[in-house]
Amino acid sequence: MTKKVWGGRFKENINETVDAFNSSISFDSRLYAQDIEGSMAHCRMLAKQGIISDNDATRIVDALAEIKREIDRGEFRITDDHEDIHTLVEKALTEKVGMIGEKVHTARSRNDQVALDVRMYVRDAIGRASGMIKELQKVLVGIAENNIELIMTGYTHLQPAQPVLLAHHLLAYYEMLKRDRQRFEDGIKRVNILPLGSAALAGTTFNLDREMTAKELGFDAVSANSMDAVSDRDFVIEYIFASSVLMMHLSRLSEDMILWSTREFGYLFLPDAFCTGSSIMPQKKNPDVLELIRGKTGRIYGNLMSLLTVMKGLPLTYNKDMQEDKEALFDTVDTIEQCLTVIAMLLSRVSFNGPAMKKATQDGYLMATDLADYLVNKGMTFRSAHEVVGKIVLYAIDQKKHLEDLSLEEYKGFSVQITKDVFKWLDPSSAIKRRNLTGGTGSDAVRNALNNAKKEIEA
């Protein structure tokens, strides 16, 4: 069993089962790059402050860089012999440069070391998430622009409601994703705080230049309270929360596409390369990718609740419970990046069934609201118009007719204010043209929204 860095106080070796239970190397090894980069900056700062010699610092930094290259190339075997990535790197360092390697831990605890590593990891993850969300937004804008003329049924309560442009529907998801990017990027302000220098909980007796370390590692500021710095995981929780909201939006988009791809809707065709079949039913084409995204949303919610629960009862400062943050964080990062990648690829290859979408707008009495607006323009109050149109719809249902199939005489039976110009109002395309206010589904409004979206993406 590898000698523990904390073993001096103990009379007997740790129980092997406890050692395995306590170990985090199996998952925190992915922090090796951040751990090494943080150690190199810490070492350079120690030399600048005269705490260790320049020669020792150079040898340590060079050896750490070599260790990183070896791990990058897969030449360094990471085993369960070490408790965590921090002790593994330190052991590898001492094997290369001898006892001077132990100086790297001067004025530092694993408590502020791991807080540093995780902050750097989350910072990188935010950058990737933001970029991937932006790529998905580009795909949505491209699809909307290529299908700008397609009219479809808009729904409330999953019941036919009013005609809208497909582009308008897709740009609703663009707006959701824009807020998702903003949430991730705003979190950088709270992530990018250097905890190193807090040591175990009380700071250190050494005269550190924390601002130098912060600058070297790209942090905007240093932590104001050492106890908070080593026990804070708000930034991890916030990242997983932002991921949860993102996954909720991806799940809703997936659900729309699942519904639209059914025979009953028939609005879109999913590419074969992103679907699977049935082991018993030869005719099946299943939207498994979209269903998995929908299902994995619950997994991210679980990670958020898990970490909130871990943290809720912890006294200050560091407690071993906090080791549980990493698997939840790493799983969240992996999951959202997989989902963002695959849904962007899938979306870029979907095609839409324009005739089926147009036909659907002719059913469901989608023009009822426009008919009520027509009566308002004739001088009727909206409540009165609502009641009259409700009776017209009921009559049309009984007669098994669409609204545009009713005769003028039939309309006049409900209101003498209805004249032959009513039929111009009953075309779904005219309903689109009447909604050109900012944020509406009118063609001009949607084109403006598309132009704004492209400018935002370019910016």
**Catalytic site residue 278?**
yes
Of 26, 278, 351, 429, catalytic? 278
Of 157, 168, 254, 386, catalytic? 157
Dihedral (CA of 294, 337, 288, 149) sign: positive
Residue 32 burial (10 A CB sphere; 0-12, 13-18, 19+): buried
**Residues paired with residue 194 on neighbouring β-strands, in sequence order:** 222
**Rounded-to-integer distance, Cα 244 and Cα 237, Å:** 10
**Rounded-to-integer distance, Cα 329 and Cα 232, Å:** 14
**Catalytic site residue 42?**
no
Concatenating the DSSP letter of every residue in 41-73 gives HHHHHHHHTTSS-HHHHHHHHHHHHHHHHHHHT
**Rounded-to-integer distance, Cα 347 and Cα 273, Å:** 12
User: How far does the chain reach from its first CA to its final CA, in angstroms?
Assistant: 55
**Rounded-to-integer distance, Cα 307 and Cα 293, Å:** 21
Q: In the numeric block, which tokens belong to residue 276?
A: 């699977």
Give backbone dihedrals phi and psi of 148, rounded to 5 degrees, phi first.
Answer: -65, -25
User: Which strand (E) or helix (H) includes residue 392?
Assistant: helix 382-399
The counts of H helices and E strands in the chain are 19, 6
- H/E/C letters for each residue in 165-191? EHHHHHHHHHHHHHHHHHHHHHHHHHH
Enumerate the active-site residues: 157, 278
